[in-house]
Amino acid sequence: MKVKRVGVVGLGTMGSNIAIVCARGGKETVVFEADAAAMEAGMGRVRAFLDSGVEKGKTSPEERDAMLGRITQAGSLTGFEDCDLVIEAITEDREEKNKLLRSLNAALDGSAIIASNTSTLSISHMGAASGRPAQTIGTHFCLPAALNKLVEVAPGLLTSDETTATTTAFLEEVGQTPVTVKDWPGFVINYFLVAFQNDCIRLIESGYTNPADLDAGVRLGLGYRMGPMRLLDIEGLDIHRTVSLSMYEQLKDPRYIPPPLVDRMIDAGHLGTKSGRGFYTYKSAGVFGVAEPEEDASHERDLSRGQPIADAVQKVGVIGLGAMGSGIAQVCITAGLEVMGVEVNEGALEAGLTRIRRNLDGAVKRGKMDEAGKEATLARLGGSTDLEALADCDLIIEVIVENLDAKLELFEKLGEIAKEGAVIASNTSCLSVTAMAAKTKAPERVVGLHFFNPPYAMRLVEVIEAVQTAPEITEFGIAFCNRIGKTPIPVKDRPGFLVNRLLVPYLNHAAHAYDEGLADRESMDKAISMGLGHPMGPLTLIDLVGADVQTFVADSMAEELGEARFYAPPILRRMTSAGWLGRKTGKGFYDYE
């Protein structure tokens, strides 16, 4: 069967997006809302989105009018009698959906397919309740569906192969990318996303960070196309609460309990873009693509005490010239600063300096720098195997192995070597900067500067404030990062800081779910990368990071936080024991040549 005519029940944020997808894909689309005001509001969302496309030059007026012409409003469910497929997008309530599916079964032709846009509920259960289980299937579109091509296709236990094939073909025809997933609470995307979002909300709720910094950290540090707080505003806090509670009721996993802040925001009417205010304030209420957040000056920082210290830096010491350390040194010399790199022996030193030279040669080949500029940049780079060479540095950045004992020993030595007034920084990604500062003579002048790999390409730097760090030194860290062209976000000295605090439990969750058979590796990674706009799926990312590194960082955080979800799952320990560490060994979740 070929789908020619489509029905959409429910014109909320998701339903209106699905209607746009269908009409844009050339399908005659029938829409229905039980309430006339809701129907008008839904069609208003459709028109606003399409008008916005015309204003931005992405759609012509003629194309917009043609799409609107393919959308017909039905007065009742009998208006779907000629539809080949009907997609329900009503509230995430099991009984309401079952009631609707039974009514659709009575109204539709015997061959028609009923698809549910549920993001959490059992398709097998709905299929049994509908009266046509073989022709009931899940089609979970991802917000904003008019811009996000991924759709999770979830056949129930009784769904026929023909229904799955017909639905998949229809989605491809309208320009979407279907991925078949298991009928499981949250399928793939929400199984991971909702827990991650709740984690983000808890950090905001506790005052640990603010929405703008959290979004910047996730976008710049992890490469996500959209920050989680902005995505929550688009989804709607009321929808998030419903989805989160539905998953908790089925899984009884505390990660899915919505934090109290969600209830308070809903009570205040701060639902997100549709109400004009959520985690951000919007110029006007509307759907994604129409509602744009206002500039928020409330989180601007006074750097008056730290800026002069940053401006005075002329020479930077970098201890450890591995991949990360050499990248940091490259960033500093490119910004016009003199750098002294220190390594444990001549071989390691030469390898680090050579890595920087090769990177700059590449910049010349790509036209980012001319030969004269490269030579002038390299002239600012020096190297030594003696820590005493750092005695005249204004800033010393430690980038050695991620081992606390080794770092504590080094910081004790630096306390004797660093000149008066120098700032000492650690590039640690998870260890206590406070403990390192305690080993120096001037702990108030110690700060964390956590760069992301590769430092010359990644804009984000976490500026970590130890317990002893003076306010002007935190300001210095922010100002210095600005000076070298990076985007700083200040964080407290807590396990994982901000980015790894969110990333590590998410990767643990994904590895454990794969081990338990939630999805095959390709489906899991494709669903996450496409559906959520991540640069790669979680299993590919673990292979890039290294199973051993993920295990070490996770266990380090778990020991300090005392939460079981931070401990590395058994599969990562088995992979580490087997030497299946990922790309660096040629085998991890995937095989590499």
Residues that are catalytic:
429, 450, 462, 500
Task: State how far the Cα of 440 lies from the Cα of 414, in Å rounded to an integer.
Answer: 7
Reduced to 3 states (helix: H, G, I; strand: E, B; else coil), residue 85 is: strand
Determine how β-strand 177-180 pairs with β-strand 150-155.
parallel
Give yes or no for a contact between 527 and 152, defined as CB atoms under 8 angstroms apart: yes
Counting Cβ atoms within 10 Å, is residue 359 exposed (0-12), middle (13-18) or buried (19+)?
A: middle
Which residues on adjacent β-strands are paired with residue 8?
31, 87
| Nearest to 116, CA basis, from 101, 103, 95, 134 | 101
Compute the distance between CA of residue 199 and CA of residue 191 in angstroms, rounded to an integer: 13
CB 167 within 8 A of CB 137: yes
Structure-token pair, residue 572: 């990562």
Question: Do β-strands 395-398 and 315-319 pair in parallel, antiparallel, or remain unpaired?
Answer: parallel
Residue 34 CB: number of other CB atoms within 10 A? 12
| Nearest alpha carbon to residue 50 among 71, 34, 28 | 71
CA–chain centroid gap for 211, Å, is 13
In order of 330, 433, 442, 444, 573, the CA distances from 439 in angstroms are 28, 10, 9, 11, 33
Are 144 and 288 a contacting pair, CB within 8 Å?
yes
The tokens for 208 are 């640990």
Rounded distance between C-alpha atoms, residue 559 and residue 554, angstroms: 9
